[in-house]
Each structure stands twice: as structure tokens, then as C-alpha cells.
Amino acid sequence: MRRKLLFPALLTFGALIAAGLEARAQNPQDVAYASGAETVHGLLYLPPSGGVHPALVVIHEWWGLNDWIKQQAAGFAQQGYVTLAVDLYRGQVASDPETAHELSRGLPPDRAVRDLTSAVAFLSRRKDVDPRRIGAIGWCMGGGYAAQLAVADPNLRAVVINYGSLPTDRAALEKIHAAVLGNFGGLDRGITPDDVHAFEAAMQSLGKSVDVKIYPDAGHAFENPNNTAGYRPDDATDAQQRSREFLAKQLKPGKS
């Protein structure tokens, strides 16, 4: 009788452990770290398992650190990354384009880049992070800042730019040491295919690692389902798969 009772107990205990590990990746910690003379906050998502992991800085769109960005960060943690979702707006989140425009225009670019390099430094000091395997991913405004972070931090290993503005200055591109993946919309009127091709050619001429893809029937922000008019589910699925495989290849050698 005792043996019969033991197996259900073990199964229940195992289920509790599994639920607890999954919760690590879904329930973020509010963390504070220094950015210059300021103290800033972000949301830290931990992988299901312990040990030392690669890490990712997740950079929000012009809307701010909203639920969709939190979902992306939680998903990357589930894939095995210590993930820090930064908050460049200091707690503000837009719900309409007018407010998003005001917040993005009011964000000092030098402060944003400083916050991002500070986020990388914060992750690199953690005992559960391999400082040689830190990457970044961003969308829209965050995609542009992901590119700027690659310029500013030579220790970054991999960067994913989703329809973000691209650096054009050759001296800036020379500072990029990270491998770069880009996903762009062919109908995007802000970051045009010509802009993407020029960036790709300049990076290649410098011997940099770059892989860009333009989705001909997609516009800006095509990966976000909240963009009801411009969401392209098939293209979004492909872009997200490209991002996952790229990050695994760059930050998880031998496991891609």
C-alpha cells in the first residue's frame, strides 16, 4: 500500500517542480541597476533551469515596455536565456500613436544608449550569465537602438534588428563586432529596402557578419499582432524563427 501511494506523490512532486521552473521564465523580477548617475529599472526573466546561461537585452518598440514585449522576453527566457527587458521610458507606456510619438521623440538618444550599455554590464556581472554570450533584440524603435547598442558595446555577441533604423556612418559600422540579423518589410516607408541593402553592402564591405531579409508584402511592425492593419502572421512566424535560430547559433554554440 505504501508503494502504491508513493508513485502519485512522486508525480505530484515532479509536477510542482516543473511548474516552479516554468514560473521562473514567466514571472519577472523587477531589478534596478545604475545608468550613469541614475538608477533605472527593468524586468528580469530567468530560464527554467539553473546554471550559467547566455543572456539577452530585449528592447521595446515606441509604445514602451508593454505586454507584447513582456511576452517576447518571457519566451526567450523559456528558451534558455537570462533576459532583461529594459524600460527606456522610465515606467511610461503609450496606448495610442500620439503618446508613443511624444515618448519616442522625448527620449534622449544618448541616455537610451547609456541605459542599454548599462543593461549589458548588469547582465555580465550576474553569476548565472556567461559574459561572453550576451545579445540584444529589438523591434521598431527598439530595433534601431539594438543597432546603436551594437555600435556602442564591442562585447555584444549577437544583435537582431526588427525593422529598426540602421546606422549609415562607416566609422560607426566599423565598431560593430556582433553578428547582425535583420528582418524588414518591403513596404516599410520609414526603413526602405534601399536603406537595408545599403546597410548590408556596407557591413559586408567591412567584413562584418550580417544576414538581412526583406519581406516584400510586409510593412512596418509586421511581427506584432496588435498592429491589426499591418500584421503578417506568416512573415512574422518566419522572422521569429530566423531570430531564434540565429540567437541559438551565436549564443549557444553546439546547441543550435
Computed over every residue of the chain, the mean pLDDT equals 92
d(CA 47, CA 21): 8
Percent of the chain whose predicted confidence (pLDDT) is above 70: 89
Taking only the tens place, the pLDDT of each residue in 71-86 is 999 999 999 999 999 9
Taking only the tens place, the pLDDT of each residue in 83-119 is 999 999 999 999 999 999 999 999 999 999 999 999 9
Could you tell me the pTM of the whole model?
0.90
13 has pLDDT over 50 = no
Type of residue at 221: A
127 has pLDDT over 70 = yes
CB atoms within 10 A of CB 102: 14
Please classify residue 189 by burial: count the beta carbons closer than 10 Å to its beta carbon, then call 0-12 exposed, 13-18 middle and 19+ buried: exposed
Which pLDDT score is estimated for 11?
A: 47
d(CA 71, CA 16): 23
Of the listed ranges 8-12, 46-50, 117-121, 133-137, the least confidently predicted one is: 8-12
For the domain spanning 2-251, the CATH number is: 3.40.50.1820
Higher-confidence position of 13 and 209: 209
Q: Is the dihedral of CA 45, 87, 186, 231 positive or negative?
A: positive
Closest CA to 160 of 186, 176, 133, 179: 179
Question: Hey, what's the cell of 256?
Answer: 543550435
Asked whether 19 and 102 are in contact (CB, 8 A), the reply is no
Q: Is the dihedral of CA 212, 215, 218, 224 positive or negative?
A: negative
Please report which confidence band the pLDDT of residue 174 belongs to, taking 50, 70 and 90 as the band edges.
Answer: very high
Question: Hey, what's the cell of 46?
Answer: 530567468
177 has pLDDT over 90 = yes
d(CA 60, CA 92): 12
d(CA 252, CA 58): 17
